[in-house]
Amino acid sequence: MIDETVKNQVDALLQGWSEDPLQTKDVFVEYMKLLDDQPGVRQDFKARPGVSYSLRAAHEKQEKRSLFVMVDVVDDEPEARWLSVCFYADMIQDPDELGDFVPGGLLGEDACCFNLDENDANMRAYIRARILEAAHSAAQ
């Protein structure tokens, strides 16, 4: 679920996002809607212009962790933004080993992160599957 404050913050980002050669904006919106469609999932948003815009999703059944996925729009070059999508390493599988293992990389815990820095339909789908996997894991 996206509350009104989060929706307004995301809308402000999207309205100001004009250059998008990698079609990152469409993927970000796709993942946001995917998360919104998952029962019991709530979303939060942290804007750090010039660094990142971070969409964070948690499941209402989670007690020990404040999120299960972080979808970051990396904003170091606003004319060529890309996504970094991170999960707790123990919440997902990475059967094709496309992610980067990052010790302590997600709020101090080991993470598996996927960079979407080109318009790659296969990687988009792979990350989408990981989002669904993490959402299911968080609901347990």
Give the pLDDT confidence of 60-116 residue by residue, as tens digits.
999 899 999 999 999 999 899 999 999 999 999 999 999 999 999 999 999 999 999
Q: Model pTM?
A: 0.95
The percent of residues in the chain predicted with pLDDT above 90, rounded, is 89
* Burial class, 31, CB count within 10 angstroms (exposed 0-12 / middle 13-18 / buried 19+): buried
Tokens of 40: 């019991």
Sheet holding 109-116, edge to edge: 41-48, 52-59, 69-74, 82-88, 109-116, 100-106
Residue count of the chain, please give it: 140
Q: What pLDDT is stored for residue 2 in this prediction?
A: 80
- Give the pLDDT score at 3: 84
Could you tell me the end-to-end alpha-carbon distance of the chain, in angstroms, rounded to an integer? Answer: 18
- Residue 55, pLDDT score: 97
Domain ranges of the chain: 4-138
Q: How far apart are CA 13 and CA 70, in angstroms?
A: 16
